[in-house]
Chains A and B, each alone.
Chain A
Amino acid sequence: MAETTTPTAMSASNRLLADLTSAEYAAGFVTDIDSDAIPAGLSEDIVRIISAKKDEPAWLLEFRLKAFRHWQTMPAPQWARVHYPAIDFQSIVYYSAPKRKLDGPKSLADVDPKLLETYEKLGVPLHERAALAGVAVDAVFDSVSVATTFRDKLHEVGVIFGSFSEAVREHPELVKKYLGSVVPYSDNFYAALNSAVFSDGSFCYIPKGVKCPMELSTYFRINAKNTGQFERTLIIADDDSAVSYLEGCTAPMRDENQLHAAVVELVAHENARIKYSTVQNWYPGDKDGKGGIYNFVTKRGACRGNKSKISWTQVETGSAITWKYPSCILQGDDSVGEFYSVALANNYQQADTGTKMIHIGKNTRSTIVSKGISAGHGQNTYRGLVKIGKNAEGARNYSQCDSLLLGSNCGAHTFPYIDVQNPSAQMEHEATTSKISDDQIFYFQSRGLSAEDAVSMIVNGFCKEVIKELPMEFAVEAQKLLGLSLEGSVG
């Protein structure tokens, strides 16, 4: 409360607020590279052009057209607590690819050095030195996948990892079987749009009994102007397999808003484990809310087999608008779903994010830990559904949603939906909302720490439960990002 605040603490925290909100977006450069783009706009012809450019089989074109026709009948969703001017879908370029040599890059050596430089700048280890990091990377630049590392090594153990287009060419039976099986093209407005125009993405198949020997990673970058990015990720973990997958994203700083509408589908068969981690750092717009990415993403995993497990971890620091609900459908008995999230909304960012845990099988368990941080004029919303079906005997859910408010102009909102249809289920939901109190800052300061350090320690402590779920390299990046995005925003 104001009357207990000492003048020094006030000014320190005000200064901190100013610093924090003025933090720069480090990944905001543009790479000057020739790209092969199609005219802006969306029609059946555009869908056909995209399909033709990618030399797709007829069944995939059919899938796209069905999705497109369905999309035309759908209204844009209005229910999320985010506000933005209506998107003109005709002004977006739906396909943009870095221009290739005639046959496209066969290996990293063939990749445009400028592109590699871009990833170098972003700290994505595409090159051989990546061996040290031990992470296999598939990089998606604007609309297409540009490079995949460590393919041979993965091939030895039977893991298929690469771009979606390759998978369509080389493993059409797998793609055909699983595409749209978790997120049908008719699922929602943006999933339908993605199904119609998706350009590329990552595909991953882990065969029976294989524990993927390294972390798999995709790096997404929007570079070209006025383009939308619509990628699709499909991960299948067959019986008794395990995989850990990381996803990172950045975009240049631009004054206009750009659209990103991705679909991610995960399928875990019996006793399989998928861990999916995201550090989302799309350009959030400037401090007056100008520009930034609209991030409308559908992510869903199906625990098809008994004892399977899907775990989502996300650190969402970027995007002007985030609209994203990574979900688990717990079909198999004893299957487990997890959702760990840190969402940060600074300046004029708006985030409406959360999860759905659909318990269908017996003894299914789910855990939700969501941490929302709002600063500046940021609006952060947790929206989640826990549904325990009639046959989900012994299902168990624990949800925890905490919000931290930094400054008096931001907002934190929580909308948990809890539907229980089985008496043997146990579910608990807890939420708290608070700010960093002056007492806490004072405690740190009296021990000789600066107000800045105090805030950063408190924020880190607040997010710790989520950050510790991330693979180590990502945890470091996430912590750095949180620090950067928040620098100076404590009141």
Chain B
Amino acid sequence: MTGPSAPFSEIASAVPSWGGPSWLSDARKSAVARFVSAGLPTTRIEAWRTTPLPDLGKMAYAPGSASTANQAGALVKPFMASDVVTLVFVDGFHSETLSSSVATWPKGVRLAPMSRQLVVSPEDLQPWFADMGATDGALHDLNTAAFRDGAWVVVDDGVQVQMEVRVVLVSTSTDQPVAQHVRSLVQLGRGASLRMMVAVIGAREARGFTNSHTTITMAERSRLDLVRVHESPPGVPHFDALSATLGAHSVLGDTVLQTGPSWTRSEIDIVLNGERATADLGGVFIARGTQVSDIHTLLSHQAPGVISRQNYRGLAADEARGVFHGQIKVESEARGTDATQNNKNMLLSKRASVHSTPALEILTDDVKCKHGSATGQIDQAQLFYLRSRGIDSVDAIRILTRAFASEIVSRLSDESTRRLIEAQIAPSLEQLGVAA
């Protein structure tokens, strides 16, 4: 094994000791083999050209250990409420004490940490790992090889879940940096609906690496409203992958708020393979310091009459670098596809930069596809307007950046969720080191 994958070398030797069903051990072993041969992605790979991974090589990684860190409690608190179900993972492992008690779980939803599910009924999980290919990339392989826990959420046919399900991943400050590889699986039955939030947070001093993968399958006419907050601390780079398969007439709404301050990259991979499925996606990154914030989307339209909407925005201050790479693919059988994509970025400092690549690949003529991308600075006329009304430039910029981000936040229809998100991202907006 060579350089870049060395920090994770212990995984190969650890896999056999984790037990579990043989099909999983086999999947892990082949994933380890693929990861070892490919190594961590470098900027020589086109998809990583603008997003160099931070140097993970100098850190001594260990697979997370089941610790019950008290410090996690305070961090998780904002996400606790009487009318939500919370599943909390601390340093990559489920924390029973911090999660909602089983008694409060709504009916029709099967909810469990993966660590338990793998022991109790691993056969339920096997289909998810059936078509694991080599094409998903090294960090996906690493996740398959090394994940120990995550959320398992299944909503039965026809069940409309009223309570919001919240999954919170917390990094705590530990003696040794912790690499947490979390795998979550979400399945919605026919006509089922669910609201879900995934938050990735941590203690300021935490060090390590978060590698979180969520796989979603949606049956006919199901609906999932997803909100994701990516707020990993500076010492914990965060790689996040979301992949979803949408059945006929299903609706997926996803809003991602990438507020840093760590290196963060989100990959969103949506397959619309049921007729008239809809994906309504949006997000904003707020990047500052020397942060790298990256959102990669791939929407594959594979069935007639599917609809997709993408609205992504970015704010980059200081020396931060923002990346948006959005790809719309329309296969020849996806007649009548209606796809739009919009990307707007605001640069707030001389040294900040943004890379935007809105790509279209269209293989049939019966489509409506549009994309737009614009990058600029704060509108000087708007700034002047506010200043002429006696607002100092720092506040004026604050108002304008908040307004810029609020178009994304306003996508959230549930008021309590929106309030929580507003409160959660407010400090990041405040801290945008704005040089007027």
Chain A residues within CB distance 8 Å of chain B: 1, 79, 81, 390, 403, 405-435, 491
Against A, the Cβ 8 Å flags (1 = close, 0 = not) of B337-368 are 00000000101111111111111111111111
28 pairs from A and B in contact (CB 8 Å cutoff):
A79-B46, A390-B350, A405-B362, A405-B365, A408-B364, A408-B365, A410-B365, A412-B360, A412-B362, A413-B360, A415-B360, A418-B375, A419-B353, A420-B353, A420-B356, A421-B352, A423-B350, A425-B376, A426-B377, A428-B373, A428-B374, A430-B370, A431-B358, A431-B369, A431-B370, A431-B371, A432-B370, A434-B367
Closest to B345 in A: A420
**Bound complex: CA of A422 vs CA of B352, how far in Å?**
7
Closest CB pairs A-B (n = 3): A405-B365, A423-B347, A435-B365
**Bound complex: CA of A411 vs CA of B360, how far in Å?**
10
Contact A427 B374 (CB under 8 A): yes
Contact A419 B362 (CB under 8 A): no
**Pick the contact of A433 from B336, B349, B360, B376 — CB < 8 Å?**
B360
Closest to B331 in A: A411
State whether the Cβ of B250 lies closer than 8 Å to any Cβ in chain A.
no
**Pick the contact of B354 from A1, A420, A435 — CB < 8 Å?**
A420
User: Count of A-B contacts with CB under 8 A?
Assistant: 120
Contact A429 B358 (CB under 8 A): yes
Contact A416 B365 (CB under 8 A): no
State whether the Cβ of B50 lies closer than 8 Å to any Cβ in chain A.
yes
Contact A413 B367 (CB under 8 A): no
Contact A414 B359 (CB under 8 A): yes
Contact A408 B345 (CB under 8 A): no
**Least distance between A352 CB and chain B CB atoms (Å):** 12
Contact B355 A417 (CB under 8 A): yes
State whether the Cβ of B332 lies closer than 8 Å to any Cβ in chain A.
yes
Closest to A397 in B: B375
Chain A residues lying within 8 Å of B372, measured Cβ to Cβ, are 428-431
Contact B375 A491 (CB under 8 A): no
Contact B373 A416 (CB under 8 A): yes
CB within 8 Å for A414 and B360 given contacts A420-B353, A423-B347, A423-B350? yes
CB within 8 Å for A1 and B366 given contacts A416-B358, A420-B353? yes
Chain B residues lying within 8 Å of A417, measured Cβ to Cβ, are 355, 357
Chain B residues within CB distance 8 Å of chain A: 46, 50, 332, 335-336, 345, 347-377
Chain B residues lying within 8 Å of A403, measured Cβ to Cβ, are 360, 362
**Pick the contact of B355 from A405, A408, A415, A418 — CB < 8 Å?**
A418
**Least distance between B330 CB and chain A CB atoms (Å):** 8
Chain B residues lying within 8 Å of A407, measured Cβ to Cβ, are 365
**Bound complex: CA of A418 vs CA of B358, how far in Å?**
9
**Least distance between B323 CB and chain A CB atoms (Å):** 10
**Bound complex: CA of A407 vs CA of B362, how far in Å?**
12
**Bound complex: CA of A269 vs CA of B367, how far in Å?**
45
Apart from A408-B332, A418-B354, A431-B358, list 4 A-B contacts with CB within 8 A: A412-B362, A420-B375, A432-B370, A433-B367
Chain B residues lying within 8 Å of A413, measured Cβ to Cβ, are 359-362
**Pick the contact of B336 from A1, A405, A411, A419 — CB < 8 Å?**
A1
**Pick the contact of B377 from A1, A390, A409, A424 — CB < 8 Å?**
A424
The interface centre, meaning the residue of A411, A414, A423 with most chain B CB atoms within 10 A of its CB, is A423
Contact A414 B363 (CB under 8 A): no
Chain B residues lying within 8 Å of A432, measured Cβ to Cβ, are 369-370
**Pick the contact of B362 from A390, A411, A423 — CB < 8 Å?**
A411
Closest to A433 in B: B369
**Bound complex: CA of A431 vs CA of B358, how far in Å?**
9
**Least distance between A427 CB and chain B CB atoms (Å):** 5
Chain A residues lying within 8 Å of B363, measured Cβ to Cβ, are 410-411
Contact A427 B375 (CB under 8 A): yes
Closest to B371 in A: A431
**Least distance between A415 CB and chain B CB atoms (Å):** 5
CB within 8 Å for A431 and B365 given contacts A420-B347, A421-B353? no
**Bound complex: CA of A409 vs CA of B365, how far in Å?**
8
Closest to B352 in A: A423
Closest to B351 in A: A390
Contact B373 A414 (CB under 8 A): no
Chain B residues lying within 8 Å of A421, measured Cβ to Cβ, are 352-353
Closest to A79 in B: B46
**Least distance between A79 CB and chain B CB atoms (Å):** 7
The interface centre, meaning the residue of B50, B345, B351, B373 with most chain A CB atoms within 10 A of its CB, is B373
**Bound complex: CA of A432 vs CA of B355, how far in Å?**
20
Closest to B340 in A: A432
**Bound complex: CA of A420 vs CA of B354, how far in Å?**
5
Chain B residues lying within 8 Å of A412, measured Cβ to Cβ, are 360, 362
**Bound complex: CA of A434 vs CA of B360, how far in Å?**
12
CB within 8 Å for A415 and B359 given contacts A421-B353, A428-B373? yes
**Least distance between B362 CB and chain A CB atoms (Å):** 5
Chain B residues lying within 8 Å of A416, measured Cβ to Cβ, are 357-359, 373
Chain A residues lying within 8 Å of B376, measured Cβ to Cβ, are 423, 425-427
Contact A405 B364 (CB under 8 A): yes
Chain B residues lying within 8 Å of A426, measured Cβ to Cβ, are 374-377
Chain A residues lying within 8 Å of B373, measured Cβ to Cβ, are 416, 418, 427-430
**Bound complex: CA of A406 vs CA of B364, how far in Å?**
9
Chain A residues lying within 8 Å of B46, measured Cβ to Cβ, are 79
Chain A residues lying within 8 Å of B358, measured Cβ to Cβ, are 414, 416, 429, 431
Chain B residues lying within 8 Å of A411, measured Cβ to Cβ, are 361-363
Chain A residues lying within 8 Å of B348, measured Cβ to Cβ, are 423
Chain A residues lying within 8 Å of B335, measured Cβ to Cβ, are 408
**Bound complex: CA of A425 vs CA of B355, how far in Å?**
13
Closest to A374 in B: B365
Contact A419 B355 (CB under 8 A): yes
**Bound complex: CA of A429 vs CA of B358, how far in Å?**
9
Closest to A382 in B: B360
Chain B residues lying within 8 Å of A410, measured Cβ to Cβ, are 363, 365
**Bound complex: CA of A435 vs CA of B336, how far in Å?**
11
Closest to B369 in A: A433
**Bound complex: CA of A147 vs CA of B33, how far in Å?**
63
Chain A residues lying within 8 Å of B371, measured Cβ to Cβ, are 414, 429-431
The interface centre, meaning the residue of A419, A428, A432 with most chain B CB atoms within 10 A of its CB, is A419
Closest to A396 in B: B376
Contact A434 B353 (CB under 8 A): no
Contact A418 B360 (CB under 8 A): no
Contact B365 A491 (CB under 8 A): yes
Chain B residues lying within 8 Å of A79, measured Cβ to Cβ, are 46
**Bound complex: CA of A411 vs CA of B365, how far in Å?**
8
**Least distance between B76 CB and chain A CB atoms (Å):** 37
The interface centre, meaning the residue of A410, A414, A432 with most chain B CB atoms within 10 A of its CB, is A414
